[in-house]
Chain A
């Protein structure tokens, strides 16, 4: 298209494939390119950055929440395991305690029985010993009485009647001693 002619005209057709169209297209390209750069700098990138940062922050928070939840679940599992262990330990302690108590009871009863037997034996032995001592004392008493009778028999002029009386006294004394033992 003739440039001189164009400079005189006030309008051109909307469609034409010529040098002028290419120049206009280039001018339009430059305009849109400038617009693209400005929009990228002022609008698209800043807003996108805000959105991305927010998305990242929310993702991070969700991840943290998930991690904390996992930790909490783990902690709960550990706690429950510990509680189970404690329960088990408690049962073991109680069982041991019952067993020990039963054994201690048996042992005490057995010891008491042994001690009772020993006490009885000691008592029996004491009784026997006392019996023997009593017998010994009785014998001593008989000897004493006999000696006394003999002494009286010797020291006093004994007639028949006196002798019988002495004998009766000695016998009655002996009977009285045995009754007392």
Chain B
């Protein structure tokens, strides 16, 4: 397994060349899986009963557990951000778990993906800070005194960047480890050892990193929107 990102083609839009990398392809695959799932849910949601069973139970549990998790983390006033965080959660989760499929490169093992997700968090932090705290939020960058503005700005940028590196580093590390295992493991062990390590690096670490990324994103946004009297 190669840890470099494969390039399958180039799309030229307005003079800007966009590389069709493994990450883009993997992202489309994850999108395809999630959109297919969403279409199935949309078709069946009209037939949902008051007493859920089977598929309905799973779907309701996912949404309900996520809503409670979101409510506990960001509070009632930021519940309208549920759409984004739900997408973030499912996308990172499926991407990370996708590492279990041979030949699939998790999109989260590419920094361009994790930084894109973290930039959304950054924008949300600023937007919610200004929306709920207004001028007080802007003034907070000049505290304790105006000379600290650059330091505060770097600190503000560092938070989303750090979570993007955390997710990217963990997933890439898992990818590298698995690549090494596949190369170095003896032939007789290649069907047993990698399976156990896949469970750890892709499933366990994947779940944990998803939880950490989403929870930290939620906490940063909720913290920015938090008023002094809250």
Measured CB to CB, the residues of A under 8 A from B are: 3, 6-7, 9-16, 20-29, 31-32, 34-36, 38-40, 42-48, 50-51, 54
Contact = CB atoms under 8 A, between A and B. Distances in A.
A12 B87 contact: no
A105 to B, nearest CB: 73
A36 B116 contact: no
A14 B172 contact: yes
Given A7-B10, A29-B120, A39 B110 contact: no
Given A6-B17, A28-B24, A43-B37, A34 B111 contact: no
B60 A51 contact: yes
Interface in B1-47: 2-7, 10, 16-19, 21, 23-24, 27-28, 30-31, 34-35, 37-39, 41-42, 45
Interface of B: 2-7, 10, 16-19, 21, 23-24, 27-28, 30-31, 34-35, 37-39, 41-42, 45, 48, 50, 59-60, 63-64, 67, 82-84, 86-88, 90-91, 107, 109-113, 115-117, 119-120, 168, 172
A80 B79 CA distance: 49
B119 A29 contact: yes
Contacts of B113: 24-25, 28
A46 B41 contact: yes
A50 B226 CA distance: 30
Given A27-B18, A31-B28, A47-B59, A42 B116 contact: no
B118 to A, nearest CB: 10
A150 B185 CA distance: 185
Contacts of A9: 7
A6 to B, nearest CB: 6
A26 B16 CA distance: 12
A11 B83 contact: no
Given A39-B38, A39-B86, A42-B35, A15 B45 contact: no
Determine the main DSSP class of A at the interface with B. Answer: helix
A50 B56 CA distance: 11
Given A25-B119, A31-B28, A32-B91, A11 B4 contact: yes
B48 to A, nearest CB: 5
Given A12-B21, A14-B109, A34 B7 contact: no
Most chain A beta carbons < 10 A, residue from B34, B86, B107, B119 = B86
A34 B31 contact: yes
Contacts of A14: 3-5, 109-111, 172
Contacts of B90: 39
Contact of B23 (A3, A28, A40): A28
Most chain B beta carbons < 10 A, residue from A14, A15, A34 = A14
Determine the main DSSP class of B at the interface with A. Answer: helix
B17 to A, nearest CB: 5
24 contacts: A11-B5, A12-B4, A12-B21, A14-B5, A15-B172, A20-B19, A21-B111, A23-B18, A24-B21, A24-B112, A28-B112, A29-B120, A32-B88, A32-B120, A35-B30, A35-B35, A39-B87, A39-B90, A40-B86, A43-B59, A43-B63, A43-B86, A44-B83, A51-B60
B67 A23 contact: no
A47 B63 contact: yes
B91 to A, nearest CB: 6
Given A20-B19, A50-B45, A43 B64 contact: no
A48 B5 contact: no
Given A24-B112, A29-B120, A44-B86, 9 more contacts: A15-B111, A23-B16, A23-B19, A25-B116, A28-B23, A28-B27, A31-B24, A32-B120, A46-B41
Contacts of B38: 38-39, 42-43
A35 B31 CA distance: 6
Contact of A11 (B7, B41, B111, B115): B7
